[in-house]
């Protein structure tokens, strides 16, 4: 039996966790919108056509913010096509995903959905085929109270109060050759600066996200970030990060080590932001909006066989297995560990398209990755604390010296709770873990939630929607300020402690 020791103290503060770190993403792609959040005529949909089961699960997840409408889609999107009478909205080819967009859902409907779901909107503007004028008009439509052309048009379209969207993305993946209107870093830095100026003149209360690299493997990374920020630093609040992972090689040890790459990616972007801050002698700090992250690889063969120019085709519908849930748990630990600089993050996406929620005609399925996302969003609010981890280590073909145990601790003073999130990467053995907690006084264990399964490839489906689901273990032993707890092999663990009582 392997052993590990974790030291944590109430003074080991990383930073306050912005709840938006548990955000998600809805793009006009596949069945994310049509058949996902919106399914008129279905018995499970409300009077506006929104799936009530999806709304319920979104509220259960406590999703704080949802990025919309893309993604690659936004770089060819005319937002005006999605407002006004439904009968007059055009059907158009979507060049990003080679599908037909019906425009039955637009900004007004999405804001209505977000309010029902109890979430905010992270709105993206088109800086691919369009520019500053269209972005300014969309902001005016959404946020200006009344008395101008676009604000009065919103009122005419049935929304007398402003949408009051406070966070905006300045385009999407503008470094990508696949992107409509892709740009060099100099071109994008210039337009991001100019559009940001206009948008903040119109509404000084908003926050803006500049496009970072599409992934850490881009040939221009991290020079892209440096060049863009040198042009736009004083006018933006965040720079974006995007990264997807998969287990194409069917190597569980290497797969679960890939969050080391995620960690290095974050650290490099933080260093680049601070480098530009120094160059500018600026007093402000640009933080990170990690607004696309997830596992994405299962659906590639099906995508390749898909015929183009369909409406809401079944596209990018990864069916997640147990090992994917472990990876998502590790990714969430990584994000929380960088809560001092990662202020927004979006699990891409929310429903059907590489998503924790899958819909079918008569209901929904909670995919395996639903559970670590649920646990982190529910219990991972408060102050992130650094952990000193003494764990056995291992090497893979890509990574060396990887901890078999990875964990992070969150303290919530308001609730008087401390939560340990941990993954045991060991495929062979369970692990006896001693956690030394300082600065909290007496504490007791409330519960130990675990997600474990002997079949790494186990999935949830209509026939067995609970094949992979959390359970509870013995709560462990508390003695002299130490918690002794057992983490099964290949497991996601949530240990909740009540502070002030033993």
Best CA proximity match to 356, nearest among 60, 151, 89: 60
Concerning whether 16 is annotated as a catalytic residue, the answer is no
Query: At 6, is the secondary structure helix, strand, or coil?
Result: strand
Block residue for tokens 């402003």: 162
* CA–CA separation, 125 and 75 (whole Å): 8
Concerning whether 207 is annotated as a catalytic residue, the answer is no
Contact between residue 340 and residue 15 where contact means Cβ atoms under 8 Å apart: yes
From the candidates 120, 140, 173, 323, give the one annotated as an active-site residue. 173
* CA–CA separation, 183 and 194 (whole Å): 15
Structure tokens at 292: 């696309």
| One-letter-per-residue 3-state SS of 115-176 | HHHCCEEEEEECCCCCCHHHHHHHHHHHHCCCCCHHHHHHHHCCCCCCCCCCEEEECCCCCC
Best CA proximity match to 361, nearest among 43, 60, 30, 56: 43
Question: Which residues have CB under 8 Å from 347's CB, separation 6+?
Answer: 22, 23, 24, 25, 293, 294, 328, 356, 373
Contact between residue 323 and residue 456 where contact means Cβ atoms under 8 Å apart: yes
* CA–CA separation, 37 and 28 (whole Å): 11
Block residue for tokens 């060819």: 76
Cα dist. 116→60, 110, 164, 470 in Å?
A: 12, 10, 15, 27
From the candidates 109, 120, 292, 323, give the one annotated as an active-site residue. 292
Contact between residue 454 and residue 26 where contact means Cβ atoms under 8 Å apart: no
Structure tokens at 3: 């052993």
Block residue for tokens 């792609």: 29
Question: Which residues have CB under 8 Å from 496's CB, separation 6+?
Answer: 379, 417, 418, 419, 420, 445, 446, 447, 448, 449
> Where in the sequence numbering do the catalytic residues fall?
173, 292
């Amino acid at each position: 039996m392997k052993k590990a020791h974790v030291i944590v103290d109430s003074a080991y503060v990383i930073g306050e966790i912005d709840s938006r770190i548990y955000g998600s993403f809805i793009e006009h792609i596949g069945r994310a919108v049509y058949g996902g959040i919106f399914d008129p005529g279905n018995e499970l949909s409300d009077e506006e056509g929104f799936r009530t089961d999806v709304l319920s699960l979104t509220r259960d997840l406590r999703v704080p913010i949802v990025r919309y409408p893309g993604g690659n889609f936004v770089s060819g999107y005319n937002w005006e096509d999605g407002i006004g009478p439904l009968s007059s909205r055009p059907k158009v080819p979507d060049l990003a995903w080679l599908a037909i967009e019906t425009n039955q859902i637009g900004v007004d409907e999405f804001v209505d959905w977000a309010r029902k779901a109890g979430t905010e909107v992270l709105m993206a503007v088109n800086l691919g085929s369009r520019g500053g004028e269209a972005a300014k008009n969309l902001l005016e439509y959404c946020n200006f109270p009344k008395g101008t052309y676009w604000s009065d048009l919103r009122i005419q379209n049935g929304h007398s109060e402003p949408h009051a969207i406070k966070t905006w993305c300045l385009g999407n993946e503008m470094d990508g050759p696949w992107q409509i209107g892709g740009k060099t870093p100099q071109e994008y830095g210039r337009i991001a600066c100019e559009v940001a100026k206009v948008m903040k003149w119109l509404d000084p209360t908003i926050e803006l996200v500049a496009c970072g690299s599409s992934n850490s493997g881009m040939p221009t990374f991290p020079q892209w970030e440096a060049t863009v920020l040198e042009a736009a630093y004083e006018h933006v609040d965040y720079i974006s990060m995007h990264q997807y992972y998969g287990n194409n090689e069917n190597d569980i040890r290497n797969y679960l080590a890939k969050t080391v790459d995620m960690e290095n990616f974050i650290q490099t972007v933080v260093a680049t932001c601070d480098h530009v801050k120094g160059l500018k002698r600026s007093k402000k700090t640009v933080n990170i909006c990690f607004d696309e992250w997830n596992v994405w690889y299962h659906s590639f063969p099906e995508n390749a066989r898909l015929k183009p120019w369909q409406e809401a085709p079944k596209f990018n519908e990864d069916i997640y297995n147990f090992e994917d849930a472990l990876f998502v748990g590790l990714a969430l630990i990584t994000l929380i560990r960088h809560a001092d600089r990662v202020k927004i993050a979006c699990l891409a996406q929310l429903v059907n398209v590489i998503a924790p929620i899958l819909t079918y005609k008569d209901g929904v399925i909670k995919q395996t990755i639903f559970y670590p996302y649920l646990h982190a969003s529910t219990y991972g609010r408060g102050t992130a604390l650094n952990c000193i981890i003494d764990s056995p280590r291992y090497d893979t073909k890509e990574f060396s010296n990887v901890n078999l145990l990875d964990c992070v601790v969150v303290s919530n003073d308001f609730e008087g709770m401390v939560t340990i999130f941990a993954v045991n990467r060991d495929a062979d053995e369970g692990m006896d873990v001693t956690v030394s907690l300082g600065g909290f006084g007496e504490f007791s264990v409330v519960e130990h939630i675990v997600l474990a399964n002997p079949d790494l490839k186990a999935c949830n489906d209509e026939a067995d929607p609970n094949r992979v689901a959390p359970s509870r273990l013995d709560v462990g032993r508390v003695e002299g300020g130490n918690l002794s707890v057992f983490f099964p092999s290949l497991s996601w663990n949530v240990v909740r402690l009540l502070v002030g009582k033993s």
